[in-house]
Structure 1
Amino acid sequence: MVLPEPRALSKAPMAGLQPVTALSELPAQRVLRQLLEALMFEGLIAYHPGDRNRTGWQWLSFQAGNLHGRCRARIRGFGRLRLDTSSLTLERNQKPVPLSLTTLVAQLPATNSHQQSLLTELLATISNCERLDALRKARHSGDRRNLHGEALDSALHEGHPYHPCFKSRLGFQGDDLVHYSPETSTGFRLHWVAIPRHNLDSQLPSSDMAFWQSELGQEQAYLLRAAFHRAGVDWQQYGALPTHPWHWQKLSQGPESGRLEALGIKCLGPLGDRYHPGQSLRSLFNASRPAKACVKLPLGIHNTSSRRHLEPHSVPSAPAISRWLESIVAGDPLFDTSYPLRLLPEYASLGVAAREEQGANNSELAGELAAIWRASIGSRLHEGEQAIPLNALFQWQPDGMPFIHPWVEHYGLVPWLEATLKAVILPVWHMLAAHGVGLEAHAQNSLLVARSGWPRALMLRDFHDSVEYARDYLPQTIPEPNFGPRQAFYDQAPDNQYYRMSNPEALRELVMDTLFIFNLSELALVLEEAYGFNEARFWDRVRTILTNYARQHSDLRSRLGRLGWDQPHPLTESLLRSKLQPDSEQPRHRVPNPLAPGPNDTLMPFIDHHHKRLP
């Protein structure tokens, strides 16, 4: 095992570093900060640091329409920013302007309708945070460090650390927010429907009855059959499908109700185990029998960047993609020894088929009535192991210390960090460089498998719409994924539409975005804020890990060269631009790369081009 238990390091000191406790931030302050940070990072508003050669706190000025702002800030790796909004001032024509989201959003480069849409989500995020935080604090007081796996996933209430609409959840009304949010939900049963089999795309590993007996248990499988009889539908002619109760209510009582009736879809009512939502809202964990599968269901709310349905093409393809990835991992012993990687496969799926039947168009319900079953976290753990979602690593606790503080204190910051970076980076990097597959390893999709806080492996999940490959970058020993009867659909699709990309740089962009720029960047921030561990040192460690990998795999030199991971200014996705300017083609921008060779001055922004659209 590449990451042995560090007995010799168990009493390692913290090298004189003393943690600095976190300062509390009200929801309105956080939303404003993340909005401004994203706007500046993506070049949507122009900013100018006081001293380009500084990496610590400094004053910067910015221009948003006719507003001039000034704020203390720190420019970080990949051009990410950290603002101190307590120092923020706004002026118009050299006269002070009160701080206001409404005032700021009105000056952004977008149409009035897109400005108003963004403002609605920002205000909803603030309102939802305030309501959920009050209820959560009243109900829960336990230390999250005692949790792991699904329980910890549901307890990670902070939301996206970059996107300012991190808790908008548009669509929830009244008590919906309380009933169906992980912060406050007490659990709920799924709502079941019966769908004519000719309208149902079924990708189950066994016959219907065998599958439901395995998933639901004998008693609940019997009750499901009984529900069919009560609804007056034939088990041979109809298939069962679970739905999110909120989503089914909106579908059955909204404009789609007529289409449901035209397709012969019948309501069966609530049934089976109770489920609890995870931090992604639509991934539901089995609260009655935690060892059973996680069920991912479409949920027609808007949150963060998009509406939370399921991509119609990805539902029937989910098991095929998981089988493909599992075959790659099983065929490379390094994923067991040097770069431990464990997958949570999506082994079954059901959904309304996207086609026309009997004069009724199914396409608008494809992705709206669907389900994907994913292996539970516990099913991939060995005795004594815990699974920690990566976004837990950069959270602060009510005691004012980082979540990771006991491990840092026990093992020493540098030894623990070195082991963690290797455990998190190398499996994803090896899959990319050696096998030509890009994985969307963002902080919610990735879990650190640890024993007493010491890293042992990386666990990844959620593959159905987050895996990419380039045909000419796959090694000859690895075939493209096999989609069976749906193969022609993917063969005829253009590159860059589904799983197949046109070049390996697209894979590199996916990996660097999700693993470095919007993931490990947050860990780097916590280490600097809490322990004074300079961020330049953090990215130097990452660069050394990647350089050592290249040295150890000299046979991959040309493949690594094609990725361009160490180019000075790579492209990255512009998440907020997609919301303000949704008609933009491939909204991306260039960022300074702290992993590029040479003097480590690449924390500095790409000032000369930062505010231009780049090809």
Structure 2
Amino acid sequence: MALREQTPSPMTGLSPVISLTESPTQRVLRQLLEALLFERLIPYRPCNDNRSGWQWLSFRIGSLPGRCRARVRGFGRLRLDMSTLTLGQEQPSTSTSLARLVGQLPAASTQQQALLKELVATIGNTERLDALYRARGPRERRALHGEALDCALHEGHPYHPCYKSRLGFQGDDLVRYSPETSIGFRLHWVAVPRRYLDSQLLAPDLAFWQSELGREQAYLLRAAFHRAGVDWQHCGALPTHPWQWQQLCQGPQASRLSALGIRSLGPLGDRYRPGQSLRSLFNVSRPANACIKLPLGIHNTSSRRHLEPHSVPSAPAISRWLEAILAADSQFDAAYPLRLLPEYASLGVNTGRDRGTGSAGLEGELAAIWRASISSLLNDGEQAIPLNALFQWQPDGMPFIHPWVEHYGLGPWLEATLKAVILPVWHMLAAHGVGLEAHAQNSLLVVRDGWPRALMLRDFHDSVEYARDYLPPATPEPDFGPRQALYDQAPDDQYYRMSGPEALRELVMDTLFIFNLSELALLLDEAYGFNETRFWDRVRTILTDYARQHPYLTSRLHRLAWDQSTLQTESLLRRKLQPDNQSHCLRVINPLASGPDSTSMPPTDHHHERLP
């Protein structure tokens, strides 16, 4: 089915109203209900047989009967029209107390209260940050790209209701260390005895710091050692997030730091701003220099933002492995342009060699990973656009992408964008047996004058998977050097090695389709009237064309079973509400299924007798 060449102006529909006028309280309630219904923590039933358009849904949250006009979208994702919601006897139900609603959820009281705390924090943080952001005046984000645009994407996760909880920040921490409002800060440096420092640097310390910091700042770092009375020969330097260091040295870990001989050196060096992931810090003083990823012990969306201890020293090895795969396959240059932002160096505290210090718990709390800057992978005239920018609305009432869509036409631009985003990830999966976590924050679209040229991916240390029996003969397993035994002896599904291709398919389809491109599909539907069914038809055609062009991959694609009628996906909210539940997954209808009657309605495994 050919895409239309003409691009109508964005319509005045639901999405602009939601994006530009929805209050934080309304948004949190909407995303909470959409997630609860999608993950079937709340069973629901449609009031008619309209499976693709707007329809009424009935549901029950504990003792509260509910009804809302909604649209069940691809993979069973939902879009609610909150102006039609009734819950209990209250209407409009946006005034419904969150505490009352959360108290009815299928979870223990402890989990209910924890969720409520994050929801309330999200509302408060959003209100405060939005007010400060607006006070700076309107910003034309379309003129930004790369790190600057990453910092300007203040909307937060479009699915998770705790999209801006940031539990742990107190007072001015929120303003100082949030991308929406931060003006930059210097890192706080500490000295760590070398026997506790797992170092994966590209060169000896002095040469590495001169390369990263410049000669003057490297000299000042040496001087800081002398001022603190620390021997450079016996200790190594480690940058920390200033908030993280304050929490560690003023909290329960203070005695452990002292027992280990870890000493403060103070702030120095370049200034950094946090990106939208909060832990990734971009160099403001010298933008072409590396991004540094540091642990940050706050809770946001689904997890605490520390770094997995095993992944810190393994980060450079994983990047080298992926780079070798790309270098050996010319199709990543010609047919499926893919650029990786390598994590080329890391440092981390590792006290496993001396358990007598009582220092357990610092692994993953004091660490750093260096990642190449975005600009270092761009050619003249190119821009890198974080993928979640593609489905944002601007204050002018137009989508972020509208100038490009208007210039090239919706059909050609969308076709080029889908191919640029999907095919590099798909080729890595199908041809090389490697699953990449290509969610919207990890992925950047490289464009020239808005036209897609390549996909850029980042953040590999804890977001890459492979299955030993799905690696082709020409693709070796990663080489972790002295740490190889840790991974060889670990069971499948614990670290990078999965038990089979099903896990890889789930990772890729979850992050790339269900929670990423699904948002672009929604924007195109609500802004340009481009029906979401047509969107997923285009995606299916791209994948089937890929299979036809690579007949030697037929058996491998068959093992992926990407076009089966239902797929397993992660249940993010269930993990919060029911942490002891062994299964944090659910099955959803697959709009990419090859059958003629694929539908966006979820499997009918609800207990309808419980519904009103």
Q: TM-score, normalised by structure 1?
A: 0.96
Distance 1:16 1:402, change over 3 A: closer
Instruction: Name 1:279's counterpart in structure 2.
Output: 276
Matched residue, 2:260: 263
Displacement, 1:99? 1.6
Equivalent residue, structure 1, for 2:12: 20
Secondary structure, counterpart of 1:52 in structure 2: coil
Q: Which residue among 152, 157, 172 is the counterpart of 2:149?
A: 152
Amino acid aligned to 1:450 = V
The corresponding residue for 1:514 is 511
Within-5 A mapping of 1:343-422? 343-357=340-354, 359-422=356-419
Aligned to 1:233: 230
Assess, with a 3 A threshold, how the Cα gap between structure 1 residues 92 and 140 changes in structure 2: closer, same or farther: closer
Give the counterpart letter for 1:49 in structure 2.
Answer: P
Cα distance 1:300–1:548, how it changes in 2: closer, same or farther (>3 A)?
same
| CA distance in structure 2 between the partners assigned to 1:132 and 1:366 by the alignment | 32
Preserved contact between residue 70 and residue 89 of structure 1 (Cα < 8 Å): yes
Structure 1 residue 125 corresponds to structure 2 residue 122: yes
Which residue of 429, 434, 459 maps to 1:432? 429
Q: Is the 8 A contact 1:45 1:611 kept in 2?
A: no
* 1:30-49 CA-partner distances (Å, limit 9, x unpaired): 00000000001001001111
Question: Which runs of 5 or more residues in structure 2 are unaligned?
Answer: none
Distance 1:590 1:375 in 2: 37
Distance 1:94 1:285 in 2: 46
Partner Cα distance (2:281, 2:238) in 1: 15
Q: Which moved more, 1:557-566 or 1:358-367?
A: 358-367
Distance in 2 (alpha carbons) for counterparts of 1:238 and 1:413: 57
User: 2:291 matched to 1:299?
Assistant: no
1:478 deviates by 1.0
**Shift of residue 51 of structure 1?**
2.2
Q: Distance in 2 between matches of 1:16 and 1:208?
A: 58
Q: State whether residues 197 and 349 of structure 2, in contact with CA within 8 Å, keep that contact through their aligned partners in structure 1.
A: yes
Counterpart check, 1:316 vs 2:308: no
Q: How does 1:19-58 map to 2 (within 5 A)?
A: 19-20=11-12, 22-23=16-17, 24-58=21-55
Give, in angstroms, the shift of residue 573 of structure 1.
0.2
Question: Taking structure 1 as reference, are residues 581 and 611 closer, same or farther at Cα in structure 2, changes over 3 Å only?
Answer: farther
Identity of matched residues, %: 76
2:478 corresponds to which letter in structure 1?
P
Q: 1:479 aligns with which of 464, 476, 480?
A: 476
Larger displacement relative to structure 2 (43-52 or 521-530): 43-52
Q: Is the 8 A contact 1:395 1:403 kept in 2?
A: yes
CA distance in 2, matches of 1:356, 1:302: 29
Relative to structure 1, the CA distance from residue 410 to residue 310 in structure 2 (aligned partners, 3 Å threshold; closer, same or farther) is same
- Give ranges in structure 1 of 5+ residues lacking alignment: 1-8
In structure 1, what is the Cα distance between the partners aligned to 2:525 and 2:420?
Answer: 21
1:103 counterpart = 2:100: yes
1:116 paired with 2:113, answer yes
Secondary structure at 2:339's aligned position in 1? strand
Paired amino acid for 1:14: Q
Distance 1:284 1:58 in 2: 44
* Alpha carbons 2:163, 2:300 under 8 Å: kept: yes
Query: Which amino acid in structure 2 is aligned with residue 47 of structure 1?
Result: Y
SS in 2 for 1:393: helix
Deviation of 1:597 (Å): 1.0
1:64 maps to a residue whose letter is I
Q: Contact 2:374 / 2:384 at 8 angstroms: preserved in 1?
A: yes
Please name the residue that 1:567 is paired with. 564
Report the alpha carbon displacement of residue 139 of structure 1 after superposing the two structures with TM. Answer: 1.6
Q: Separation in 1 of the partners of 2:505 and 2:324?
A: 22
The Cα offsets for residues 351-384 of structure 1, whole Å up to 9 and x where unpaired, read as: 0014041611443101000000000000000000
TM-score, normalised on structure 2?
0.96
Q: What is the CA distance between 1:103 and its match in structure 2? A: 1.1
CA drift of 1:20 comes to 3.1
Kindly indicate whether residue 173 of structure 2 is the aligned counterpart of residue 205 of structure 1.
Answer: no
Amino acid at match of 1:605: P
Q: Kindly tell me: are residues 603 and 95 of structure 1, through their superposed partners in 2, closer, same or farther at Cα, counting changes over 3 Å?
A: closer
Alpha carbons 1:435, 1:478 under 8 Å: kept? yes
1:72 equivalent to 2:69? Answer yes
Question: Is contact 1:509-1:572 (8 Å) kept?
Answer: yes
Residue 15 (structure 1) shift: 4.4
Aligned equivalents of 2:583, 2:310: Cα separation in 1: 21
Q: CA deviation at 1:92?
A: 6.2
| Alpha-carbon shift at residue 122 of structure 1 (Å) | 0.3
Equivalent residue, structure 1, for 2:172: 175
1:550-599 Cα shifts (integer Å, max 9, x gaps) = 00000000000001111111100000000001112240000000000123
1:552 counterpart = 2:549: yes
Is 1:588 the counterpart of 2:580 in the alignment?
no
Q: Distance in 2 between matches of 1:515 and 1:275?
A: 29
> Do the aligned partners of residues 411 and 221 (structure 1) sit closer, same or farther apart at CA in structure 2, a change above 3 Å counting?
same
Cα distance in 2 for partners of 1:611, 1:306 equals 32
C-alpha displacement at 1:525, in angstroms?
Answer: 0.2
Paired residue secondary structure (1:558): helix
Could you tell me how far apart the structure 2 residues matched to 1:459 and 1:194 are?
Answer: 35
Question: What is the Cα-based RMSD across aligned positions, in Å?
Answer: 1.8
Q: Does 1:63 align with 2:60?
A: yes
State the alpha-carbon separation in 2 of the partners of residues 17 and 505 from structure 1.
Answer: 41
Equivalent residue letter for 2:182:
S
Match of 1:244 in 2: 241
Query: How many angstroms apart in 1 are the aligned matches of 2:72 and 2:159?
Result: 14
| Distance in 2 between residues matched to 1:535 and 1:506, nearest whole Å | 26
Indicate yes or no: 2:434 matched with 1:442.
no
Distance 1:348 1:20 in 2: 48
Amino acid at match of 2:163: F
* One-letter identity of the residue aligned with 1:334: Q
Note closer, same or farther for the CA distance 1:610–1:563 as it changes in structure 2 (3 Å cut): farther
Matching of residue 469 in structure 1 with residue 461 in structure 2: no
Partner-residue secondary structure (3-state), 2:391 = coil
CA contact (8 A) 2:438 2:512 kept: yes
* 1:505–1:269 distance in 2 versus 1, CA, 3 Å: same
Q: 1:341 to 1:610 in 2, by over 3 A?
A: farther
Letter in structure 1 aligned against 2:85: L
One-letter amino acid of the structure 2 residue matched with residue 483 of structure 1: F
